[in-house]
Amino acid sequence: MAFTVTDLDERLSFGARVTDLDPATLDDPDVRAALRDLWIDRGVVVFRGVPGGTASQICLSEVFGECEVHPLRPKDAVSAPELSDIRYLPDDGDIFEVDGDPRGGWLPWHSDLIYVDTINHGGILRPVRLPEHGGGDTGFIDQIGAYDALPDDLKERIDDLDVVYWLQLDASTARFVHVPNLRMIRLRNSSARIMENVDTFPRVVHPLVFVQAETGRKVLNLSPWFAQGIAGMENEEGDELLHRLAEHAVDTSRAYVHHWHDDDMVLWDNWRMLHSASGVHPDDVRHLQRTTIKGDYALGRIELAEGEISHEMRLNV
Ligand SMILES: [Fe+2]
C-alpha cells in the first residue's frame, strides 16, 4: 500500500495513524478508496509528515467529500474559502474559566454544525501556529463505542428519540455540558457578533441514535454542547435522561487526546466522533485551519411549530 497504518492507541477501538503518504498518490483510485475505508472504519485518522501545507490539506479533504464554506465563516476572513480559521489570540478569542483555570480557545465536547439540519461529514485540522507554553490539545471520543457501552434497557429506550439543538456559542450556559465551575470570561469578536443575531437560527432536530450506513453500527448521536432537550420530552423526565446520556457520551476513559506536532493533519468523522479543545494559557497564541467536508446523512430537520409546513412540503403542494 502507498502508506503505513498503525493504531493510535492500543487501548481504544478507534483511531489510526497514517505515515509515509505521498500527496502525489492521491489521484490513485485505490489509494482514495483505502483512505476512505480507513476513515469510516476508525473514525479519526492522524496523518503525520504529509508535505504540501494548505494545498495538501484541501486535496486530502477532497478524498473524503466535497469541501464546503463554513456557515459561520466571518465576512472578513482572508484564508482560502475551503478553510476555517480556529484561532486564539490574547486580544481576540474565547476565554473560559474551567474549574478555576482560565483557558483561551477552550471548547467542550461537541459535534460540529449539529445546530443546523445538515451536519458536515468531517474535517481535517492542520496547525499553522502551535502554542509556546503547551496545551492546545484536541480530544476525540467515539460514539459507536459509547452506544455499545450503554446498558441494553437504555439502548431500547433511546433508539427512536430525537434531540433538539440550538446555536448557543457561550458554552457556560449549555445545560448538558457537565463541567464543574464553568464561567465565560470573554467570547471572541466573531462569536459575539453571531450571538447578536442568534434568533435568526431556528431550532433543529437530530436523531439520538442512527446507523452508520457503510457498516450497520449504531452511533450515539448526542452533542452535549448545543443540546436543548429531547424532542417532545423537554421536561424533567427527558432532561434527566439526557443528562445521564451526556455524562456517558463524554466518559474520558474512552477518549483519545491529540498532542499536536507541526507536521500533523487530523481527519475525523463528525457524524461519529465528539471532539473538544483543551485550550491554552490566555497570553499564548494558537492557530489551526480546518476544512469542512460536506455530506448529509439526511436525518436532521428544522424544527417546525405545530401546523407549520416545511419548505419541501410546500413545494409538493
Ligand atoms: Fe468543533
pLDDT of residue 311: 43
Q: Cell digits for 313?
A: 412540503
Radius of gyration over alpha carbons of the chain, in Å? 19
Distance between Cα 270 and ligand 1 center (Å): 9
**From the centroid of its chain, how far is CA 303?**
21
The answer to whether residues 51 and 23 touch, using CB atoms and an 8 Å cutoff, is yes
The model's pLDDT over 124-170, given as tens digits with 9 standing for 90+, comes to 999 999 999 999 999 999 999 999 999 999 999 999 999 999 999 99
User: Beta-strand (E) ranges in 209-253?
Assistant: 209-211, 218-220, 227-230
C-alpha cell at 241: 435522561
Q: What is the pLDDT of residue 225?
A: 98
Question: How many A from CA of 78 to the centre of ligand 1?
Answer: 20
**Spatial distance between the Cα atoms of 310 and 317, rounded to a whole number of angstroms:** 11
Sheet of strand 101-104, all strands in order from the earlier edge strand to the far edge: 101-104, 95-98, 182-186
Q: Which residue type does 98 have?
A: V
Range of the domain at 72: 4-297
Cα 188 to middle of ligand 1, angstroms: 15
CA 141–ligand 1 middle distance (angstroms): 13
Assigned domain for 307 exists: no
Tell me what pLDDT residue 114 has.
96
- Do residues 82 and 67 lie in contact, with contact meaning Cβ atoms separated by under 8 Å? yes
In angstroms, what is the span from residue 161 Cα to ligand 1's centroid?
24
* 235 C-alpha to ligand 1 centroid (Å): 28
pLDDT band at 308 (very low <50, low <70, confident <90, very high): low
The answer, yes or no, to whether residue 196 has pLDDT greater than 50, is yes
Residue 194 belongs to a domain? yes
Predicted pLDDT at 307: 57
210 Cα to the center of ligand 1, angstroms = 20
Check which CATH number belongs to the domain holding 273 and give it: 3.60.130.10
Grid cell locating 218: 449504531
Ligand 1 centroid to 112 CA: how many Å? 5
**Residue 166 Cα, ligand 1 centroid: separation in angstroms?**
15
Within a domain: 197: yes
**pTM of the model as a whole:** 0.93
Give distance in angstroms: CA of 304 to centre of ligand 1: 26
Q: How far apart are CA 103 and CA 108, in angstroms?
A: 12
**Range in 111-115, 155-159, 230-234, 313-317 the model is least confident about:** 313-317
**155 C-alpha to center of ligand 1: Å?**
26
Residue 81 confidence (pLDDT):
86
Average pLDDT over residues 52-80: 87
Where does residue 242 rank: exposed (0-12), middle (13-18), buried (19+ CB within 10 A)? buried
Looking at the domain assignment, is residue 158 inside a domain? yes
DSSP 91: T
Q: How far is CA 4 from CA 7, 166, 226, in A?
A: 10, 41, 37
Q: Three-state SS for 227? A: strand
Determine how many CB atoms are found less than 10 A away from the CB of residue 314. Answer: 8
Residues 6 or more apart from 267 whose CB is under 8 A from it? 39, 44, 45, 46, 47, 60, 61, 64, 122, 123, 124
Question: Residue 123 Cα, ligand 1 centroid: separation in angstroms?
Answer: 9
Domain count, the chain: 1
Q: Could you tell me if residue 276 is inside a domain?
A: yes
Going by pLDDT thresholds of 50, 70 and 90, the confidence category of residue 315 is: very low
For residue 284, tell me if it sits in a domain.
Answer: yes
309 lies in some domain: no
Q: What is the mean pLDDT of residues 223-228?
A: 98
* For range 244-260, the mean pLDDT: 98
Lowest mean pLDDT segment, chosen from 71-80, 148-157, 158-167, 236-245: 71-80
Distance 195 CA to ligand 1 centre (A): 17
Residue 32 in domain = yes
Is pLDDT above 50 for 317?
no
Cα(62)–Cα(164) distance, rounded to whole angstroms?
A: 31
C-alpha cell at 198: 442568534
Q: What is the mean pLDDT of residues 86-114?
A: 96
